[in-house]
Amino acid sequence: MDYGLWADVVGIVHALFVLFVVGGQGMILAGWVLAWGWTKNRTLRLAHLAAIGFVVVQQWLGELCPLTTWESELRHRAGAEGLGESFIQYWLDRLLYFSAPTWMFTVLYTAFGALVIATFVFHPPRKRPKNNQDPP
């Protein structure tokens, strides 16, 4: 098994998760201003809320992101010391991992989570039709 390749795959999935959370919020806010109907999609909005909720809870519990742990373990098995320096890892490391005190991440993630909740409240997703029919 090519552990280095799988570590890169996990790193890419991690970057896509971050893009979904951060970029998704940007798109939802833009959709609010520009009246893009798809940004009110209930499934999308609930998935987005759950994603940032997971991040905030794991941060408050003092836990590392499971994707970070998994990627690091795969890199270790590949012979690297944790987060190694493949080309993909080099750029993922610069995009995802920052050197700052833990409390700063807790504040940042919590504030971002509060923004997502506020957006959910003030620009809510569409409600489901009562009889499972599409609204007119």
Whole-number Å distance between alpha carbons of 135 and 33:
22
pTM beyond 0.85: the answer is no
Q: What are the residues whose beta carbons fall under 8 Å from the beta carbon of 109, sequence distance 6 or more? A: 52, 55, 56, 59
**Which pLDDT score is estimated for 83?**
47
Residue 97 reports pLDDT greater than 80: no
On whether the CB atoms of residues 10 and 67 are closer than 8 A, the answer is: yes
**Which pLDDT score is estimated for 102?**
83
**Which pLDDT score is estimated for 79?**
86
Cα first-last separation, the chain: 53
Rounded to an integer, the average pLDDT of 107-114 is 95
**Which pLDDT score is estimated for 132?**
60
**Residue ranges per domain, the chain?**
3-122
**Residue 96 class from Cβ within 10 Å (0-12 exposed, 13-18 middle, 19+ buried)?**
middle
- pLDDT tens digits, residue range 20-72? 999 999 999 999 999 999 999 999 999 999 999 999 999 999 988 899 889 88
Backbone angles phi, psi at 129, to 5 degrees: -60, 145
- pLDDT tens digits, residue range 72-89? 899 889 887 654 455 455
